[in-house]
Chains A and B, each alone.
Chain A
Amino acid sequence: MTETASYDLQCLGVSKNYGAVRAVRDVSFDIPNGSFFSILGPSGCGKTTLMRMIAGFEEPSAGDIRIKDRSVLNTPPNRRNVKMVFQHLALFPMMNVYENIAYGLRCNRMSKAEIERRVSDVLARIELPDVADREIHQLSGGQKQRIAIARCMVLDPDVLLLDEPLGALDLKLREAMKIELKLLQHQFNTTFIYITHDQSEALVMSDYVAIMNAGRFEQIGTPQELYHKPKTAFVAGFVGDANRWPCRVVEAFGTTLRVETEIGLPLTGVACGRNPPMQAGAHGELFVRPEFIRAERVRTDGSPERAGPLNVIPGIIDSQLFNGAKSRVLVRGPQGMRIEADVTLTGGEEDLRPGEKVELSWPAEQTRCFAAAGSATGADPGAEPA
């Protein structure tokens, strides 16, 4: 146990250039043994290139990739103990399920009896013990998915790469497969590296998530850290939903900022992101998550006193976006400013309705202010094409 490596995979300053295009820039990370690690980013951010370098299909322009503490830079793809589940699975249509799974074992020149034992063993583990003789086209989408994973796992890889394998499935099946993948990872206790542009997949399944943008890692952390303590404006905008407004810093007291939005609305927020600390006069961007904004009817007897520093603005409800427990209202604030706030809609008298005057309030510590930088423009989450 003391002799085994503590990291299944390490990337040290990995870069990849295609001519003048820098697809991956100086990416470094370590993945501890047996974890579920996701790389999340918009399409074209370089995540597929990074994965192909780990698998050995591309050579990095600079940097080192280590598997179990051994550099694999000069190892061809078929000698790396890294297996990959392809986006469209790439099961071999001319072979049946048994032959698909046995292919890798045969490449390792294993005896026939041993191959038979291992294939039936892995089929039992993915709970499809009776499909060995089926043809690939006879399987359902979810079964194909599991066979593709079994085909890799039967080889006992150090790292399993998954390239958006849920993309082709319909919504219901995708939700079910998320849970199943997580369980399979637990069961095999192998490091999974999961590439996706779908943040809900990454957040639900992963132990650690790396947010990738324009070839760089913006932040690596647990899903909770990324959601609640984003380090860059891109992460704050990309992970989860957020109201975002451009602003200017009026006064700074340490990390507490008094800021003014474009339309001159004064708010209190906290400075986030890396140094240098923001100074008065600096331009920035505010992020407030809808679930921290409370929307309440304006009362005639005046608002009750509240504790703690709070931002409070008036508004009128534009529309109700009903989505069960995740319902939301669109509020028109001062000078047409648009704000989204989460609400509970019970279907009773208490529900907020369009046209009603409301008061919006949220704590200052949930008002994150990031320095405006040219490159820190985030993509709209959800607007990502599959």
Chain B
Amino acid sequence: MRSQRDIRRLSLFLLLAPFALWIVLLVALPQLGMLFLSLREKIAPRVYEYGFANYVSFAGEPIYWNTLLRTATMSLLVTALALVIGFPVAYYIAKIAGRRSRGALFLLILIPLWVSDLIRAFGWILLLRETGVVSSLLQWSGLVSGGIEFLYTDATVVVGLVYTVILFMIVPLVSTLDGMDEAMIEAGYNLGGNGFTVLRRIIIPYAMPGIVSGCIVTFMLTAGSYLTPILLGGKNSSWFTAQIYDQFITRYNWEAGATFGVLLLAFTSVVVWIGLKLSGQSLSTTVARS
């Protein structure tokens, strides 16, 4: 009896070990290290002082927190656009498409994931640069005389980001909507609701867990993304991750970089928390369910 229980305990331990190692070594330790780094200040070579000086200097420099606010606002915009575009797509796949075409459509949605972010961003550059496909087509058709630079604007960054993250919006939405009984929509109409009422009172509330989990994933991915804003937005993008990179690599100021990293995590967490409160959902009912 005793030994059997030990074996069970051991196997549970072995099963959990890789996960625990991953969490501790790759998630928890680096974050703690960052927190630790962010709290110290170099006052002379090899002389450090501990305190909130880094946070104070962040608060005192408008360009830093403006960048953070700008990143958050644009991430929210990207999330909203991904939801508005992704919801009809997910609804079509889950509810309108036939059983056979559903699998094919879902596969089509997933195919872009097989190409790396970097290559996809270069795809956009090929299309949008001054000598790129769109500009050349416009010149060839005679609509414009000179070449047009589409890159390095906020709109391009938003479009590129929406394209990159929309999959993570569609997938949870499809899985939530898939579980919805068609009779429920029909009942919504039968009891006197019009299309808008049925969408607002029945479909969206039913899909809320999927919507919230899609939004959380999309928002976190967008706010933490580096490649797309840099490649499509260039220097003008002023994305917060670029600031972090700058502090760590260019200025070799790890303390400031760590501060920015901690602030980004804290800030996005607060945004997600507010979103959960506003939608009346909790993490366990959304991300865990889909």
A positions within 8 Å CB-CB of B: 55, 57, 76-79, 82-84, 86-88, 90, 92-95, 103-104, 106-108, 151-152, 155
Is B186 part of the contact surface with A, judged by Cβ < 8 Å?
A: yes
Question: Please, which residue of chain A has its CB at the minimum distance from the CB of B201?
Answer: A103
Tell me how many residues of B have a C-beta within 8 Å of chain A. 18
Docked pose: A187 CA to B188 CA in angstroms = 25
Q: Are A78 and B194 in contact (CB under 8 A)?
A: yes
Docked pose: A351 CA to B16 CA in angstroms = 69
CB contact under 8 A between A87 and B183, given known A92-B202, A94-B205: yes
CB contact under 8 A between A88 and B181, given known A57-B186, A107-B191, A107-B197: yes
Docked pose: A82 CA to B189 CA in angstroms = 11
Q: Are A92 and B184 in contact (CB under 8 A)?
A: yes
Interface centre among A84, A94, A95, A152 (most CB of B within 10 A): A94
Q: Are A90 and B181 in contact (CB under 8 A)?
A: yes
Q: Are B192 and A108 in contact (CB under 8 A)?
A: yes
Docked pose: A328 CA to B18 CA in angstroms = 67
B180 to chain A, nearest CB (A): 10
- What residues of chain B lie closer than 8 Å to A82, measured between beta carbons? 190
- What residues of chain B lie closer than 8 Å to A57, measured between beta carbons? 186, 189
Q: Are B183 and A88 in contact (CB under 8 A)?
A: yes
Docked pose: A103 CA to B200 CA in angstroms = 12
Residue contacts A-B, CB under 8 angstroms, 18 given: A57-B186, A76-B189, A78-B192, A78-B193, A83-B191, A84-B187, A84-B190, A88-B181, A90-B184, A92-B187, A92-B188, A92-B205, A94-B208, A104-B191, A104-B193, A108-B192, A155-B191, A155-B192
Docked pose: A219 CA to B31 CA in angstroms = 77
CB contact under 8 A between A55 and B190, given known A87-B183, A90-B184, A92-B184: yes
Q: Are B192 and A90 in contact (CB under 8 A)?
A: no
Docked pose: A82 CA to B184 CA in angstroms = 16
Q: Are A86 and B187 in contact (CB under 8 A)?
A: yes
Contact with A along B193-215 (1 / 0, CB 8 A): 11001000110011010000000
- What residues of chain A lie closer than 8 Å to B205, measured between beta carbons? 92, 94-95
Docked pose: A92 CA to B208 CA in angstroms = 14
Q: Are A77 and B190 in contact (CB under 8 A)?
A: yes
- What residues of chain B lie closer than 8 Å to A86, measured between beta carbons? 183, 186-187
B221 to chain A, nearest CB (A): 27
Docked pose: A84 CA to B181 CA in angstroms = 15
Where chain A touches its partner, the secondary structure class is: mixed
Partner of B190, one of A78, A106, A108: A78
- What residues of chain B lie closer than 8 Å to A155, measured between beta carbons? 191-192
- What residues of chain B lie closer than 8 Å to A108, measured between beta carbons? 192
Docked pose: A84 CA to B194 CA in angstroms = 16
- B151-205 at interface with A (beta carbon < 8 Å): 181, 183-184, 186-194, 197, 201-202, 205
Question: Please, which residue of chain B has its CB at the minimum distance from the CB of A104?
Answer: B191
Docked pose: A161 CA to B190 CA in angstroms = 11
Q: Are A103 and B208 in contact (CB under 8 A)?
A: no
Q: Are B184 and A78 in contact (CB under 8 A)?
A: no
Q: Are B193 and A103 in contact (CB under 8 A)?
A: yes
- What residues of chain A lie closer than 8 Å to B202, measured between beta carbons? 92
- What residues of chain A lie closer than 8 Å to B181, measured between beta carbons? 88, 90
CB contact under 8 A between A90 and B208, given known A104-B191, A107-B197: no
- What residues of chain A lie closer than 8 Å to B186, measured between beta carbons? 55, 57, 77, 84, 86, 90
Q: Are A103 and B191 in contact (CB under 8 A)?
A: yes
A-B contact sample (20 more), CB < 8 A, given A78-B191, A94-B206, A104-B191 = A55-B190, A77-B190, A78-B192, A78-B193, A82-B190, A83-B190, A86-B183, A86-B186, A86-B187, A90-B184, A92-B188, A92-B202, A93-B206, A94-B205, A103-B191, A104-B192, A107-B191, A107-B192, A107-B193, A151-B191
- What residues of chain B lie closer than 8 Å to A93, measured between beta carbons? 206
B173 to chain A, nearest CB (A): 16
Partner of A78, one of B189, B201, B206, B208: B189
Question: Please, which residue of chain A has its CB at the minimum distance from the CB of B187?
Answer: A90
B241 to chain A, nearest CB (A): 37
- What residues of chain A lie closer than 8 Å to B189, measured between beta carbons? 57, 76-78
Docked pose: A126 CA to B255 CA in angstroms = 69
- What residues of chain B lie closer than 8 Å to A151, measured between beta carbons? 191
B95 to chain A, nearest CB (A): 15
Docked pose: A57 CA to B182 CA in angstroms = 12
Interface centre among B186, B189, B192 (most CB of A within 10 A): B192
- What residues of chain A lie closer than 8 Å to B192, measured between beta carbons? 78-79, 104, 107-108, 155
Question: Please, which residue of chain A has its CB at the minimum distance from the CB of B182?
Answer: A90
- What residues of chain B lie closer than 8 Å to A87, measured between beta carbons? 183
B246 to chain A, nearest CB (A): 46
- What residues of chain A lie closer than 8 Å to B187, measured between beta carbons? 84, 86, 90, 92
Question: Please, which residue of chain B has its CB at the minimum distance from the CB of A79?
Answer: B192
A318 to chain B, nearest CB (A): 46
- What residues of chain B lie closer than 8 Å to A76, measured between beta carbons? 189
B111 to chain A, nearest CB (A): 33
A344 to chain B, nearest CB (A): 46
A151 to chain B, nearest CB (A): 7
Question: Please, which residue of chain A has its CB at the minimum distance from the CB of B191?
Answer: A104
Docked pose: A283 CA to B197 CA in angstroms = 60
Docked pose: A84 CA to B188 CA in angstroms = 10
A67 to chain B, nearest CB (A): 14
